[in-house]
Structure 1
Amino acid sequence: MIAYNINLNTRDHRLATDIAFELREAGRSKRIPNPNSKNLLDGEIVRHEDGKPVKVPGIFKEIKAIGWYVDSFKRAQISINFNNYKISTIHNVFDEACRLASERGIRVTGSELVGLIPLEAVLMAGTYYLKKQNRSIGVPVNDIIECAIQSLGLNDVAPFIINEKIIDYAVDNGDQKEQTMIDTKFLNELSTNSPAPGGGSVAALAGSLGAALSSMVAALTHEKKEMLDSKPLMDEIGVEAQQLKDRLAVLVEEDTQAFNKVMEANRLPATTDEEKDIKKESLDSANKYAIQIPLETAKKCLRVIELSEELVTNGNPNSVSDAGVAAEVALAGLRGACMNVMINLSEIDDTSYCEALQNEVDSLIKNGESIHKKVFEKTVSIIKG
């Protein structure tokens, strides 16, 4: 359940209640509007022959609502409980409250979240408002969250602190998900004699950079007036590119963790036969995990190259070099990741497993190089005119 309040620029709690009755699933008693008032509560109740009020269902399913006055804010609020935010979304309820308030001569000034809210609900709202603004939805998660905060006026009566209010972040002790070490600290660590992070992490970083560039080109194309027909495609590419960017950024860290697992397994004692068996099993498991990470990196890098091909063909011509560079770094990431898969295969005794993985790696490289060649040639052709 989500507890949520919508703020009004009035102290009249009856106006808030009037709107709440329109919104909530239970609805209200039907009334004859009073010509001297914009508040339906001032109208006469319509009744059945037995004297019971005629009931009118509310606009939204799975929500409860009531109006009240909050002295500390010096304003009335519509207090709402969402039983299922996927059936009745916060943004749709908020917009309808704005419309109903305007009909009554008042305004919604913002809203307040009581307790926690799922990240998904916030992203749904942010995406909805970006679309209303005809802006690209293929933007970073934090930008979508900020759009939701501003559009819903979540800072109206109290600060909306992301790491405290969004449950996905709050349960991680305030750390937003998928944070990575892509910063100066990462580069400095990379430049030392420490064995990790290494090539696998750099391959993932290269892919993430390519995905970020792809998202940029999609966003620039999305806002170009001469290319309005391409907006739906650019939204699709932008959203997927953001997802690839975020996942590849996480793989930067996961590749280092995979290497560390191998090192830990190598440090296990191997004096007795039992210890040798345990160490062999641990090493096999760690090496297979160390293979799966760069393998995923390679697959995602291939997808970045595929997106860059679409962007070179259908994107903003002024950004064609950016789309081309996206393919360049993504191919570097793909090849680098495949190298890491192959070097780890040498530690695996399972012949059939190794052959299957080697065939998959060969296919990834072949496909990536083939698409990259098309992207490069088309990019150069467009640049030269």
Structure 2
Amino acid sequence: MLVAYNVNLDEVDAEVSKLAGTLVRSSGRLIKREDGKKMRIPGMLVKVQGMGVTLEGHGISQVSMNLLDVSSTPLHYAYEAVKSIAGDHGVEVCGSELVGLVPLSAMLESGTWYHDDAATADESELVAAAISGLGLDSLGEFDPANRIIEWTIGDE
């Protein structure tokens, strides 16, 4: 299942966001020699499209990604990969955002990564850990009842 997911960076010009986008996306980056010969170096993450963009209204930039198969590349893999690249370049990650809906399984998997005692946590605690760990509420409230597919369907 495709999930549209953006990681926020505390930079205005999107220089590091653009670099991170090329490094994490599956297609990677194109390397060119002076003589014009080219080769493509694969990216870090599987089934991911990514690019860096400026989010002028918030004074930050984003690595905007389509996770083409969130079971192949979970949310926290994408978040932590971008965080690592940004940190290597002196830029802080300041949260993330989901565009649209997300499967419960994706939130539980990320919640398991971020929760201190995932083995004893219930579903809502794991979801809360994912929201906190991924910084999903950094640009505004993240209401899981309206953003998690299974929970949204359950309200009908």
Tell me the TM-score normalised to structure 2 length.
0.93
Match of 1:141 in 2: 123
Pairwise CA distance, 1:72: 2.0
Pairwise CA distance, 1:74: 1.6
Match of 2:33 in 1: 47
What is the CA deviation profile of residues 125-172 of structure 1, one whole-angstrom value per residue up to 9, with x for unaligned ones?
001222xx4x24221111000000000000001211111111111122
Counting aligned pairs with the same residue, the percent is 28
Pairwise CA distance, 1:48: 8.0
Bigger proportion of residues as helix: 1
SS at match of 1:124: helix
Is 1:166–2:151 an aligned residue pair?
Answer: no
Q: What is the correspondence of 1:104-253 to structure 2 with a 5 Å cutoff?
A: 104-130=89-115, 133=116, 135-173=117-155
Contact 2:118/2:126 (CA < 8 Å) preserved in 1?
A: no
SS at match of 2:26: coil
Match of 1:90 in 2: 75
Match of 1:189 in 2: none
The alignment covers a number of residue pairs equal to 155
Distance between the aligned counterparts of 2:119 and 2:126, measured in 1? Answer: 8
Report the residue type matching 2:124 in the other structure.
N
What is the CA deviation profile of residues 99-149 of structure 1, one whole-angstrom value per residue up to 9, with x for unaligned ones?
10001110101101110000000000001222xx4x242211110000000
| Greater C-alpha Rg | 1
SS at match of 1:68: strand
Report the residue type matching 1:155 in the other structure.
D
SS at match of 2:18: helix
Match of 1:373 in 2: none
Instruction: Report runs of 4+ in structure 1 exceeding 3 Å deviation.
Output: none
Match of 2:13 in 1: 12
Bigger proportion of residues as strand: 2
Of structures 1 and 2, the one with the larger relative CO (CA 8 A, separation 6+) is: 2
Closer/same/farther in 2, CA of residues 28 and 3 from structure 1, 3 Å limit: same
Closer/same/farther in 2, CA of residues 173 and 26 from structure 1, 3 Å limit: same
RMSD: 1.5
SS at match of 1:137: helix
Q: What is the correspondence of 1:339-350 to structure 2 with a 5 Å cutoff?
A: none
Pairwise CA distance, 1:15: 1.7
Long gaps (5+) in structure 1: 31-45, 175-385
Distance between the aligned counterparts of 2:50 and 2:139, measured in 1? Answer: 19
Closer/same/farther in 2, CA of residues 85 and 48 from structure 1, 3 Å limit: farther
Closer/same/farther in 2, CA of residues 81 and 136 from structure 1, 3 Å limit: closer
SS at match of 1:159: coil
Pairwise CA distance, 1:53: 2.4
Contact 1:112/1:158 (CA < 8 Å) preserved in 2?
A: no
SS at match of 2:98: strand
Contact 1:111/1:152 (CA < 8 Å) preserved in 2?
A: yes
Tell me the TM-score normalised to structure 1 length.
0.39
SS at match of 2:120: coil
Distance between the aligned counterparts of 1:6 and 1:147, measured in 2? Answer: 17
What is the CA deviation profile of residues 237-264 of structure 1, one whole-angstrom value per residue up to 9, with x for unaligned ones?
xxxxxxxxxxxxxxxxxxxxxxxxxxxx
Pairwise CA distance, 1:85: 0.7
Is 1:102–2:84 an aligned residue pair?
Answer: no
